[in-house]
Amino acid sequence: DGGITQSPKYLFRKEGQNVTLSCEQNLNHDAMYWYRQDPGQGLRLIYYSQIVNDFQKGDIAEGYSVSREKKESFPLTVTSAQKNPTAFYLCASSINDLGNQPQHFGDGTRLSIL
Amino acid sequence: AQSVAQPEDQVNVAEGNPLTVKCTYSVSGNPYLFWYVQYPNRGLQFLLKYITGDNLVKGSYGFEAEFNKSQTSFHLKKPSALVSDSALYFCAVRGYTGRRALTFGSGTRLQVQP
């Protein structure tokens, strides 16, 4: 079945450690997105990519980095500079970034601090 | 700048009664509007969208939404609620121009009592 796969489902980070969250899609979508979800705050955009080898910062990009070397993959690295990384991270994709198409979401990665 | 307001943190309805989840938005120019639903520890699922045309939009699982340009609202409705509709609902907006990503509301928890 086509969809978005996020892994791992749960992740623990130690102080000073970088961790990478995986997001893979087989929908042949051009655009991909990373969101952070905190209780009561909805979804906040971290980074998005309109096409391979291109990406833009969202509203809360500090302490995060991404790459888009392949159309199917958009990994997110949470760096040690992100002081409050505990959250639910959601990856999404859409056919294009024209705005008139819905985004499809993965089932998320829950990141916690050890 | 674009923004979304979901004024109710929680909405409670009895099974079989009609439900409304409110959403107002702010965007430059014409909007693309979306409703998504989230079940616990899952990603968001697309319910419906307004792009252009009829102000009443029908979507998945019997949900519909009414676009009101003068009131900048896009309220989600269902004629008869089910216990299984209990979940977290998000409204999202994007303008035809400008920021090339969705802005989400903070979410409304719908609780349907048997």
Q: Kindly tell me the sign of the dihedral angle through the C-alpha atoms of B12, B14, B15, B20.
A: negative
Nearest by CB to residue A100, choosing from B9, B46, B51, is B51
Query: Which of B9, B10, B25, B44 to mutate against chain A (most A CBs within 10 Å)?
Result: B44
What does each of the 114 residues of chain B score in pLDDT, given as a tens digit? 889 999 999 999 999 999 999 999 999 888 999 999 999 989 999 999 999 889 999 999 999 999 999 999 999 999 999 999 999 999 999 987 777 789 999 999 999 999
The verdict on B90 touching A (C-beta cutoff 8 Å) is yes
**Tens digits of residue pLDDT in A34-54:** 999 998 788 999 999 999 999
Q: Do B43 and A97 touch (CB under 8 A)?
A: no
Nearest by CB to residue B106, choosing from A41, A107, A110, is A41
∠ Cα B102 B103 B107 (to 5°)? 120
b/e for A24-55, b at 16 or more Cβ within 10 A? bbeeebbbbbbbbbeeeebbbbbbbbbeeeeb
Q: Do A40 and B49 touch (CB under 8 A)?
A: no
- The helix (H) or strand (E) run that includes residue A6 is strand A4-7
Q: Which of residues 51-80 of B touch A (CB under 8 A)?
A: 51
Structure tokens at A87: 């959250």
Q: Let me know if B52 is exposed, middle or buried by CB neighbors in 10 A (0-12, 13-18, 19+).
A: exposed
How far is CA B47 from each of CA A7, A19, A69, B76, B99, rounded to the nearest angstrom?
25, 33, 31, 10, 22
Q: Do A102 and B104 touch (CB under 8 A)?
A: no
pLDDT at position A104:
95
pLDDT at residue A1 greater than cutoff 70: no
**Tens digits of residue pLDDT in A82-108:** 889 999 999 999 998 888 889 999 999
Nearest chain B residue to A106 by CA distance is B43
The verdict on B42 touching A (C-beta cutoff 8 Å) is yes
